[in-house]
Amino acid sequence: MPTQKIRTLTLFCLMVFILSGCNSISVTEVDPNSTDNILDLLDPQIQTEEQAFANAESQLKAGKLDNALVYYMKTLRFNPKNINALERVGTIHSYHQHPDLAAAIYQNILDIDSQNVLANINLGLYFLDKGQNIKAKERLKAAVANENTETQDKIWEAHNGLGVIADLENNSTEAIIHYRAALAKQPSNQMLLNNLGYSYYLTGDENQAKVFFNQALVNDNHYDRAIHNLALIEIKHGNFSTANAYFNRIMPVYESYNNIGYLCLLTGQYDVAEEYLRRAINESPVYFPKAEENLKTLSKLNKPTIMLPQSIIETTNEAPASTEVTPAKNTRKAHRHAAKLANKKHTSAKRKH
């Protein structure tokens, strides 16, 4: 069957799952007659749930996700509560960047089996990405509570998500416990090593933080999140040349200077901030609006409150860090704020690199 036809029929089959005004997908509420004819056209020889699922698995193994999805749908026509088929459908939707559809599938699984680890993990991470941390924590804790031998390769994601939530709740001690549990499953995972280092940084243990940031660089000396965090520590202690050396691994020198200037701006080192921002402008081969904007911000520091511009450093998704900053009298608080701007917490394997 032509690929385009397969895709068209796949999309049609998917649409029967979407119920207007509902928060979850309910396979049992779909009229079987609405899809029987179209599914039978795809492969009329399939007469049982077992045949449909076997074909789906074969197509999935071959990397033909659209074809596999159709056969999983056919499997669900025979048995709407086939957990394995529902898990695969959710996974395919996640792969195709359809998070809302995937989440609805995972919710449907939990309606059938509330202890399903895969569904709890993925729905928990979905809620975390949406900023619904209470729901995320509930689901991720349920996943950890029901860990089994079949979920060993996924449970680390639940611990990582719980670690992110703990840091959001200013409970870095608990975050460290979860990141270490995750690293027990994934000992060389750069994302986890960086997240663990960041939590140690938040507790004030910079030496341990640097240990894990450096471990994150063992397999990739250009891993940008760990480099940003190591540079931040050096800037905090006035080691600007060392910070520049870190940044130079992953960016041109003028962007490095701008980063240093911006972080010094955040942490109240205004003379150094001006020096490096001007160096950034002088070194840039073209007009450098970010550095110019940061300099304008610096010139407004005689006001009680300023609005910081968007940094070229990725803003964090692990905390709603405000861009409104009062010139820092509390140095520790300012550095924690700078760390949040410089650090990028990750919550799933898909985003770890």
Q: In a 3-state reduction of DSSP, which class is residue 71?
A: helix
Are 134 and 248 in the same domain? no
Are 121 and 195 in the same domain? yes
Are 197 and 259 in the same domain? no
pLDDT digits (tens, 9 = 90+) for 4-54: 444 444 444 454 443 333 344 444 444 444 445 555 556 668 889 999 999
Are 8 and 25 in the same domain? yes
Task: Give the residue-averaged pLDDT of 301-326.
Answer: 34
pLDDT digits (tens, 9 = 90+) for 203-255: 999 999 999 999 999 989 999 999 999 999 999 999 999 999 999 999 999 99
Distance CA 287, CA 292 (A): 9
Are 274 and 244 in the same domain? yes
- DSSP code of 129? H
Which one of 166, 192, 217 terminates a domain? Answer: 217
pLDDT digits (tens, 9 = 90+) for 55-101: 999 999 999 998 899 899 999 999 999 999 999 999 999 999 999 99
Count CA atoms closer than 13 A to 10's CA, side-chain side. 20
Best-predicted range by mean pLDDT among 39-53, 104-118, 266-280?
104-118
Residue predicted with more confidence, 282 or 322: 282
pLDDT in the model for residue 16:
44
Are 6 and 101 in the same domain? yes
Which one of 193, 217, 241 terminates a domain? Answer: 217
Residue 262 belongs to what domain range?
222-353
Instruction: Compute CA 24 distance to the chain's CA centroid, rounded to the nearest angstrom.
Output: 23
The answer to whether 347 and 129 are in contact (CB under 8 A) is: yes
Domain CATH code at residue 142: 1.25.40.10
Domain CATH code at residue 35: 1.25.40
Q: In a 3-state reduction of DSSP, which class is residue 146?
A: coil
Report pTM: 0.78
Instruction: Please spell the DSSP secondary structure of 277-346, one letter per residue.
Output: HHHHHHH-SS--HHHHHHHHHHHTTTSS-EEPPPPSSPPPSSS---SEE---S-HHHHHHHHHHHH----
Are 139 and 71 in the same domain? no
Are 237 and 337 in the same domain? yes
Count structural domains, the chain.
3
Are 194 and 277 in the same domain? no
Which one of 55, 88, 106 terminates a domain? Answer: 106
The answer to whether 92 and 315 are in contact (CB under 8 A) is: no
Are 241 and 346 in the same domain? yes
Are 234 and 328 in the same domain? yes
Are 48 and 125 in the same domain? no
